[in-house]
């Protein structure tokens, strides 16, 4: 999977892609190609390496080298060296800029990329993994640059990281150090990004690239609700399912920058990494700094194809392998049923009903600790509220376990309330400036997680609760951004404040590492006021993340469509909640709420005691159906047939399939009723196998996969104002789930016909 050609070119490849780089005339490392797999010859390499002649007014690299960096496709460019585009690295020493000339030194190939809880990175089976490490050195500046490339045989992606080592005797300051760069020789792309706001996260946004710079970024201390580290470049004038498409994402959970620059010659440079505006790092002698990993992905099948590439990569090389096969619990969360007004009797009544309808885990949300009766107090005091649980939380947890349910708890580990014992004891453990005012949001301050003592204290508190309750599940929340970033701890130990944000998120990862080392079976669901920290760094530790605080089914169509461009269904936590919906006030059918939530990790967050017997029976059927569906959610292939994009189209379709294409599930969603809609509609099923026959919803068929591919499946008849007797979908916010079960032998078909009366989907 890695060929080294004449000691000056490096070809990383598998059956899907090729990534090619080689030495430039000045000894630096240049980029040649990233895209579909190449069958490369020496002649091809010579042709690709020729490059172009320097343009007018371009600075030559040196007097004796008629070569310029201004239009060179560099693997790790440094600004100010004749290349006036944005660079990957900026270094100073004694406040003077340093312009390193990193010349090739040596390389190494290995096959080990193990999972290490200390830092979130990609990982893989050694039999599927190749790692190329290239060392480049500037002897004058006494700096060593190490570029690491990882390719997996089962993924159309290349993972990159960079390490800078100070080999000198004096410290240097890193002012900017990004994770990776992708150079493309032309600019005919649309940039696609996932932007929005709280309760409207990760909507698909598209705009054309033009000369200049476009950026997606966060300076909030987390990857944020507003923008996401993932971006894509999609060939212009191509459909959602066609065209060369490149993706970039970052295995990181703090401030980031994705920058896409088109220069005067229509060359495109995509840079991704830690946001330099909030970062600096003192690199002492004989020490190193390593960037987070960047993931560059490719598909020739448009955004739809890239989504599948990204989903498979994350599922196989980011998420903890134990959660790929292990059943995820269907949770019943207490929040929208009780809020802060909770007691044992009320919670047990709710949990018992949850057990009756088939949930697997009861999650006690905010309000169980300290003196927490509202959001004004007690964050940081992670001990039992004895007024609400007079016999202790361990006793209540045992009652939940005795019902046959798993037990989960809500924590917000990174925050503290001014009205708390913790804050009174440790006022200097919060993020606050040395002098002057500082902000408070949601009645809480941010703890200084760059301080190991803070992390250790929170871990000790959480460990006691987890041990006492034999906890199965943690919901880890984060409900404010970081403002007035200043660490009293860093000031005390003499480190620059520019290190704060990176050290803070390293503290977050350390707490995860401590918890999962002590409790390796613990399921931790990430949450940040909903989807405010939905990134690959958190997914390394948390196999699922609360997708958004907006649980309205129609809003979720756009949120989940966008999220699926970069992340698998298995990491999207989706709850069925009460109507009218708390975030938008919309009333949608229970069936539609379930069908949207079923494309992910299902949960319920409503007061079951207020539902009718019929509604409870429906939920029981839904959960039973979902338990059967979940293996596809965890390990299947997902296709965005009709994603809900920023234009908000009226129909949405999602398709889920096992790898063998024996079972497929189509989710069809119609937002608003249309008086003149056709009474018959067909939806093509591209994943159906032509030589296989399928039963649709257990009783229609068998229908050949060829017909399903080329003609499509007949959708439920929609009401058009004149066909009420025939209509199956009437009114706004309607939906359908269609299940395709494949059979290949006639005896099985005949047996199935005998069982036609056993409807599989029912009224879920």
Give the count of beta carbons closer than 10 Å to the beta carbon of residue 63: 6
Cis check: omega of the bond before 258, within 30 degrees of 0:
no
Tokens 């047996």 found at:
751
* Residue 89: DSSP 8-state: E
> Which residue in the list 477, 550, 637, 741 is annotated as catalytic?
477
What is the per-residue pLDDT across 103-160, written as a single tens digit (0 to 9) for each?
999 999 999 999 999 999 999 999 999 999 999 999 999 999 999 999 999 999 999 9
190 is in an annotated binding site: no
**pLDDT, tens digit, 9 for 90 and up, residues 337-358:** 999 999 999 999 999 999 999 9
Q: Is 361 labeled as ligand-binding? A: no
Q: Based on C-alpha coordinates, what's the Rg of the chain?
A: 27
Q: Given the residues 244, 448, 549, 637, select the one marked as catalytic.
A: 549
pLDDT at 747 over 60: no
**Strand residues in 379-505 grouped as ranges (E):** 406-411, 415-416, 445-446, 473-476
Report the percent of the chain where pLDDT is more than 70.
Answer: 95
Burial 518-546 (b: 16+ CB within 10 A, else e): ebeeebbbbbbbbbbbbbbbbbbbbbbbb
Which element (helix H / strand E) includes 9?
A: strand 9-13
Determine the CATH number of domain 2-321. Answer: 2.70.98.60
SS in 3 state form for 581-608?
Answer: CCCCCCCCCHHHHHHHHCCCEEEEECCH
> In terms of Cα–Cα distance, which of 241, 391, 348, 350 is closest to 305?
241
Residue 479 known to bind ligand? yes
Whether 607 is catalytic is no
Dihedral (CA of 154, 155, 156, 158) sign: negative
Does 743 have pLDDT greater than 90? no
Tell me the C-alpha distance between 73 and 84, whole Å.
12
Examine the pLDDT at 762 and tell me if it is beyond 50.
no
Angle of helix 590-597 versus helix 613-635 axis, rounded to 10: 20
Phi, psi dihedral angles at 303 (to 5 degrees):
-65, -35
pLDDT of 57-103, one tens digit each?
677 777 766 788 888 899 999 988 888 999 999 999 999 999 999 99
| Residue ranges covered by each domain of the chain | 2-321, 651-760
Tell me the pTM: 0.95
pLDDT tens-digit series, residues 31-60: 999 999 999 888 888 888 876 665 656 777
Domain 651-760 of CATH type 3.40.50.2300: no
The model's pLDDT over 408-462, given as tens digits with 9 standing for 90+, comes to 999 999 999 999 999 999 999 999 998 888 899 999 999 999 999 999 999 999 9
Whether 706 is catalytic: no
Residue 323, H or E segment: helix 322-325
Alpha helix locations (H) across 470-499?
488-493
| 442 known member of a binding site | yes
The crossing angle, in degrees rounded to 10, of helices 452-469 and 393-402 is 50
pLDDT of amino acid 748: 57
Determine if residue 724 is labeled as part of a ligand binding site: no
42 sits in which H/E element: helix 42-49
Average of per-residue pLDDT values in the chain = 94
Q: 639-642 — which CB contacts under 8 Å span 24+ positions?
A: 639/304, 639/307, 639/308, 639/686, 639/687, 640/240, 640/303, 640/304, 640/307, 640/561, 640/564, 640/565, 641/666, 641/683, 641/684, 641/686
- Phi, psi angle pair for 532, to nearest 5°: -80, -5
pLDDT tens for each residue of 600-646: 999 999 999 999 999 999 999 999 999 999 999 999 999 999 988 76
Backbone angles phi, psi at 750, to 5 degrees: -65, -40
CA distance 153 to 124: 10
Residue 546 assigned to a binding site? no
User: What are the pLDDT digits (tens) for 4-20?
Assistant: 999 899 999 999 999 99
**Coil vs helix vs strand at 96:** strand
In this prediction, residues 281-294 reach a mean pLDDT of 98
The arithmetic mean of pLDDT across residues 254-275, rounded, is: 96
What pLDDT score was predicted for residue 362?
98
- Give the separation between CA 142 and CA 250, rounded to whole angstroms: 29
Q: Measured between alpha carbons, how far is residue 132 from residues 4, 165, 413 in Å? A: 10, 18, 38
Q: What is the per-residue pLDDT for 53?
A: 60
Model confidence at 755: pLDDT above 70: no
Q: Is 198 annotated as a binding residue?
A: yes
Residue 366 assigned to a binding site: yes
> What are the tokens at 63?
């007097």
Task: Give the model's pLDDT for residue 761.
Answer: 43
> How buried is 39 (Cβ within 10 angstroms: 0-12 exposed, 13-18 middle, 19+ buried)?
exposed
User: Read out DSSP for 112-180?
Assistant: -B---TTS----B-GGGEEEEEEEEEETTTTEEEEEEEEEETT-SEEEEEEEEEE-SSS-EEEEEEEEE
**What average pLDDT does the segment 641-664 reach?**
89
Nearest-CA neighbor of 501 among 487, 521, 516, 515? Answer: 487
DSSP 252-300: --S-EEEEEEE-TT--EEEEEEE-GGG--EEE-TT-EEEPPPEEEEEES
Percent of the chain with pLDDT over 90: 86
**What's the pLDDT score for residue 721?**
85
Closest alpha carbon to 601 in 676, 523, 508: 523
């Amino acid at each position: 999977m890695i060929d080294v050609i004449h000691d000056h070119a490096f070809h990383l490849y598998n059956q899907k892609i090729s990534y090619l780089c080689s030495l430039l005339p000045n000894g630096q490392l240049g980029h040649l190609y990233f895209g579909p797999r190449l069958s490369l010859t020496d002649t091809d390499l010579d042709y690709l390496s020729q490059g172009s002649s320097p343009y007018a007014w371009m600075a030559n690299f040196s007097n004796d080298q008629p070569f310029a960096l201004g239009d060179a496709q560099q693997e790790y460019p440094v600004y100010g060296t004749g290349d006036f585009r944005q660079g990957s690295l900026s270094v100073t020493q004694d406040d003077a800029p340093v312009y390193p000339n990193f010349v090739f030194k040596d390389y190494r190939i290995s096959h080990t990329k193990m999972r290490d809880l200390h830092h979130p990175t990609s990982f893989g089976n050694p039999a599927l993994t190749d790692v190329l490490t290239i060392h480049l050195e500037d002897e004058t500046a006494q700096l060593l640059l190490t570029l690491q490339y990882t390719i997996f045989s089962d993924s159309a992606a290349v993972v990159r990281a960079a390490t800078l080592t100070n080999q000198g005797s004096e410290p240097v300051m890193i002012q900017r150090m990004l994770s990776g760069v992708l150079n493309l020789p032309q600019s005919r792309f649309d940039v696609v990004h996932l932007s929005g706001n709280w309760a409207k996260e990760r909507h698909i946004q598209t705009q054309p690239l033009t000369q200049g710079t476009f950026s997606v970024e966060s300076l909030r201390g987390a990857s944020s609700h507003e923008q996401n580290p993932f971006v894509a470049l999609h060939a212009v004038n191509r459909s959602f399912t066609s065209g060369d498409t490149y993706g970039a994402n970052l295995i990181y959970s703090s401030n980031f920058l994705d920058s896409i620059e088109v220069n005067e010659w229509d060359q495109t440079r995509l840079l991704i990494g830690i946001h330099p505006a909030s970062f600096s790092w003192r690199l002492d002698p004989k020490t190193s700094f390593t960037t987070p990993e960047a993931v560059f992905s490719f598909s020739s099948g448009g955004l739809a194809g890239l989504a599948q590439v990204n989903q498979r990569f994350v599922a196989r090389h980011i998420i903890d392998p134990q959660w790929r096969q292990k059943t995820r619990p269907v949770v019943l969360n207490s929040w929208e049923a009780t809020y802060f007004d909770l007691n044992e009797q009320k919670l047990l009544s709710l949990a018992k009903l949850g057990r009756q309808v088939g949930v697997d885990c009861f999650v006690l949300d905010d309000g169980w600790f300290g003196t927490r009766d509202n959001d004004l107090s007690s964050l940081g005091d992670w001990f039992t509220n004895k007024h609400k649980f007079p016999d202790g939380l361990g006793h209540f947890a045992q009652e939940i376990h005795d019902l046959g349910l798993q037990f989960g708890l809500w924590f917000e580990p990174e925050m503290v309330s001014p009205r708390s014992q913790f804050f009174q004891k440790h006022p200097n453990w919060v993020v606050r400036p040395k002098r002057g005012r500082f902000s408070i949001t949601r009645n809480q301050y941010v703890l200084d997680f760059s301080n190991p003592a803070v992390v250790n204290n929170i871990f000790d508190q959480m460990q006691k609760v987890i041990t006492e309750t034999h906890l199965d599940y943690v919901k880890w929340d984060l409900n404010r951004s970081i403002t007035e970033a200043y660490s009293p701890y860093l000031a005390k130990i003499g480190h620059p404040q520019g290190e704060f944000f990176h050290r803070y998120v390293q503290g977050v990862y350390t707490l995860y590492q401590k918890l999962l080392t002590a409790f390796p079976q613990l399921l931790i669901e990430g949450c940040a006021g909903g989807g405010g920290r939905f990134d690959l760094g958190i997914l390394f530790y948390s196999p699922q993340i609360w997708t958004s605080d907006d649980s309205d089914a129609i809003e979720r169509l756009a949120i989940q469509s966008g999220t699926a461009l970069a992340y698998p269904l298995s990491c999207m936590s989706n709850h069925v909640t009460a109507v009218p919906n708390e975030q938008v006030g919309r009333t949608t059918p229970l069936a539609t709420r379930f069908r949207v939530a079923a494309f992910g990790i299902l949960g319920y967050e409503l007061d079951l005691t207020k539902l009718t017997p019929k509604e409870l029976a429906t939920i029981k059927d839904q959960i039973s159906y979902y338990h059967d569906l979940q293996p596809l959610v965890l390990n299947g292939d997902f296709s965005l047939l009709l994603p809900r994009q920023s234009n908000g189209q009226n129909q949405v379709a999602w398709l889920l399939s096992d790898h063998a294409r024996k079972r497929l599930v189509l989710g069809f969603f119609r937002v608003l009723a249309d008086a003149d809609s056709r009474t018959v509609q067909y939806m093509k099923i591209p994943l159906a196998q032509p030589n296989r026959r399928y039963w649709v919803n257990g009783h229609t068929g068998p229908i050949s996969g060829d017909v399903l591919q080329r003609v499509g499946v007949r959708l439920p008849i929609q009401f058009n104002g004149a066909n009420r007797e025939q209509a199956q979908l009437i009114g706004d916010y309607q939906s359908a789930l269609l299940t395709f079960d494949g059979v290949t032998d006639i005896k099985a078909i005949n047996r199935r016909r005998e069982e036609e009366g056993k409807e599989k989907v029912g009224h879920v």
